[in-house]
A = this chain, B = another copy of it.
Amino acid sequence: MSQATTQATTQATTKWVYGFGAGTADGRADMRDLLGGKGANLAEMSSLGLRVPPGFTLTTGVCTAFYDNERTYPDNLAAQVRTALAEIEGHVGAKFGDPDNPLLVSVRSGARASMPGMMDTVLNLGLNDLTVEGLARNSGDPRFAYDSYRRFIQMYGDVVLDIGHHHFESLLETYKDDHGQVLDTELDADDWRALIGQFGEMIERRLGQPFPQDPEAQLWGAIGAVFGSWMNQRAITYRRLHDIPAGWGTAVNVQTMVFGNMGDDCATGVAFTRNPATGEKEVFGEYLVNAQGEDVVAGIRTPQPLTIAGKQASGVDLPAMEETMPEVFTQLGEVFAALEGHYRDMQDIEFTVQKGKLWVLQTRTGKRTGVAALKIAVTMAREGVIDREEAIRRIDPASLEQLLHPSLDPDTDRVVLARGLAASPGAASGLLVFDSDEAEARAHNGDAVILARIETSPEDIHGMHAARGILTCRGGMTSHAAVVARGMGRPCVSGAGDVRIDYAAGTLSAAGTTVKAGDVVTIDGSTGEVMLGRVPTIQPELGADYEILMGWVDAARVLEVRANAETPADARTARGFGAEGIGLCRTEHMFFDTERIIAIREMIMADDEDARRAPLHRILPMQRQDFVALFEIMAGLPVTIRLLDPPLHEFLPKTEPEFAELAEASGTTVAAVRQRASRLRELNPMLGHRGCRLGVTHPEIYDMQARAIFEAVVALGGNGATVEPEIMIPLAATGRELALLKARIEAVAAAVEQESGAELHYLIGTMIELPRACLRAGELAGNADFFSFGTNDLTQTTFGISRDDSAQFLSAYQEQGLLEHDPFVTIDVDGVGELVRMAVARGREARPDIKLGICGEHGGDPASVRFCHRIGLDYVSCSPYRVPIARLAAAQAALDTR
């Protein structure tokens, strides 16, 4: 059988349409991949006996087939739709297109994952010049009927016929002006009928054909528009932001209309079974009397609270449903209990009351803040509704971040100046500063500052540390600014491309507004917003629910979680967040201190090894003290210290006064300093003279660092009981370079042992960050007690993509579906992942007891943590603020593979 024939046969026997309503359904809640979330839950609720307007769902398979076959439908779809429609007609006792008793339907999208507002919806479908009269007669409300018809025409015109809103609105405005009317409610049935006529003429004029009167043509038009909207730019962008594959497709739900706008015994509303902001167990929601569902979302009318308590809490002085419709409110409470009991999770419900009768239109697991998620999961587990494993599974690890950072007070107005990437969560306000030295100086004087740079470099570390928040025009989610900010727990908006910074003028411009240095701005690293002035923030509390959950988490996980930290402050934060050691201490960050940088620069200027030793000797006691401090904080836990990694030119001065200072300090000329700087400059520093290559050419640097580590151990008692230093040699590509450097470190250890009489316990290992290191892992393992995968650099080299330069094209790649994830955020399992697996296998074969971990940014990404668990690493290491996330992700990974 040919492939085409097979496909045709499969299509012929496929069920494309699933009906629901009147207490039965073809589908179930666990069929969300096929029916979408909305469709699956409508089926489930129908089977549960809840009052759901009858309807049917066109599966996501139709969407996939539609796009696979140049936007055509499977042959037998039309027949299945016709059958399903006939079934609804039977349940409802109305007929599609029947002028006397017309069946009206809504057509909505419903993907596997919720994509609120992303795709199109059409209501009141089935109305035409004839059926509208039937609706008028049956409802006894001609105004309602004609209003519904004109709404349908507007919606259909916009969504299906691609005639912009404003064409309809300008006709409406003109009409009201001509008739001295202001509000839509002032228009009566005749007004709407007249406008419907004008709408029709306008449509015919624009399209060359009249508004479709055939309900079946209307239906297929709407279905086509919903499937088409799966590929609109908004939806593509949303999917990219939320990691939803385009291949999932959307389902389409066709459902009998019910009306919340047929009078004051009608209403429509949205409710949560628990408070989605706090997680408290209380009914939470809003409704509108005599309105359609869209009116609640649109926010044109102020909705009323459901409960008296809610009314008091929000301070809204409008009657609660508990007061105005007590019977319906009681029914609603029963529906809530039934749904939460059935789904065992907080539900987000849409309902309509038509002539005093409650209809449930949708239920889904409710979105909630991190705090609420935590409280709901812990509460439900303690109530026995779910078990602890389920509670662990329920929390999106990423949502924990919200718990850890201050956030903007949601109740405050704000002027958004620009938007960038939400690079490091939390919000911060402060004086705008464009220079790191100034940031430090002003912070020293007690000012809160926001550091804004076109991009940041290692020289900005002190400024970033001093700032409350960081803003850059360039760079992605893993740019220097973003990585460092997350490590420091500083809010950061990166890559705000619309922002122009003029260092010379000391100004920042965006959206036609110019702000000067010293002006106050606010950034929100959780949304990417840059705002004018100060927006008040609120401080989070971790609370009891957090502690309880993390206790369960730690019992469930197998992976150890360490932190990437080098400052005592970071190390303390990390330990506070439950880090079980340091997985990456980047020693170069210790060199930018004012006292030390000049010594480092003198060392760089020196012409031979002997001359380099003198300035290094001055740094030794400081570096030793760095380690003493870290070891004290991490007492009893392992600390992995990476020896100097970046190319030396990163430490060299850039400005004239600095050149002069360095020339004087190293007894040479400014010309010589400049020449050295230019000799060290690199075209591709990422692939340059760095990592262990420095250790090979400048062995005295690693000697000094090893000595500082060992002397720090000795200073703390020396027997290794309080600390287990793991010395990490970066960027190894061959076994020989590792062997050479390992021997030197061991020689330093032996010297310190002899001088101190102490016995040293330590490990020597390497950072695996080059493809060659993965391939030659067996050879490397012969000289390494441990491997730590530096997946940032490994991703850069495997993909041949510089993180710093990737912003120019990575977003285009994601938009065009060429990459599912940013490989710097979530590990590329097929490429980088294969190299890591290879290195694990070859490393373990050569040395079965080798310790394996990861210390790239991926160590704090839940999907990557899952990968690390699956391939059997011993630990992950991530920035301090990501430690709880990694702990949770590790627990979830362990539960999944049980």
Contacts and interface: CB of A to CB of B under 8 A. Distances in A.
B771 A797 contact: yes
A898 B867 CA distance: 46
A831 B687 contact: no
Contacts of A682: 802, 804-805
Interface in A699-755: 731, 733-734, 736-737, 740
Interface of A: 680, 682-689, 693, 696-697, 731, 733-734, 736-737, 740, 769-772, 775-776, 793, 796-802, 804-806, 808-809, 812-813, 816-819, 828, 830-832, 834-835
Given A684-B805, A771-B831, 4 more contacts: A686-B686, A688-B802, A731-B800, A736-B818
Contact of A683 (B771, B776, B793, B804): B804
A809 B685 contact: no
A688 B804 CA distance: 8
A769 B799 CA distance: 10
A286 to B, nearest CB: 44
B818 A687 contact: no
Nearest to A828: B772
Contact of A816 (B689, B740, B804, B813): B740
20 contacts: A683-B802, A684-B802, A684-B805, A687-B687, A687-B797, A687-B801, A693-B809, A696-B809, A696-B812, A696-B818, A697-B809, A733-B831, A736-B819, A770-B798, A771-B831, A771-B835, A772-B828, A772-B831, A775-B835, A776-B830
Given A687-B684, A736-B818, A793 B800 contact: yes
Q: Which of A798, A806, A816 has the most CB of B within 10 A?
A: A798
Given A737-B813, A798-B770, A818-B736, A805 B685 contact: yes
A832 B819 CA distance: 25
A688 to B, nearest CB: 4
A683 B805 contact: yes
B772 A696 contact: no
A772 B793 CA distance: 13
B684 A817 contact: no
B800 A733 contact: yes
A831 B775 CA distance: 6
Contacts of A684: 684-687, 802, 804-805
Contacts of A740: 816, 818
Given A686-B683, A818-B736, A830-B775, A798 B797 contact: yes
Instruction: Identify whether the interface residues of A are mostly helix, strand, loop, or mixed.
Output: helix
Contacts of A817: 736
A701 B686 CA distance: 28
Nearest to A832: B772
A796 to B, nearest CB: 6
Return the 9 tightest CB-CB contacts between A and B, nearest first: A687-B802, A684-B802, A771-B771, A772-B831, A688-B805, A770-B800, A682-B805, A689-B808, A683-B804
Contacts of A798: 770-772, 775, 797
A812 B798 CA distance: 26
B818 A737 contact: yes
A566 B174 CA distance: 67
A834 B838 CA distance: 12
Nearest to A683: B804
Nearest to A833: B775
A683 B685 CA distance: 8
B818 A689 contact: no
Nearest to A689: B808
A686 to B, nearest CB: 4
A52 to B, nearest CB: 41
Contacts of A734: 818-819
Contacts of A770: 798-800
A49 to B, nearest CB: 47
Nearest to A500: B675
A790 to B, nearest CB: 11
A892 to B, nearest CB: 28
A212 to B, nearest CB: 35
Given A683-B686, A736-B817, A805-B685, A799 B828 contact: no
Contacts of A693: 809, 813
B772 A800 contact: yes
A758 to B, nearest CB: 27
Contact of A687 (B689, B697, B731, B800): B800
Contacts of A797: 687, 771, 797-798, 800
Contacts of A802: 682-684, 686-688
Contacts of A689: 805-806, 808-809
Contacts of A775: 798, 830-831, 834-835
B685 A816 contact: no
Contacts of A687: 684, 686-687, 796-797, 800-802, 805
A769 B800 contact: yes
A59 to B, nearest CB: 26
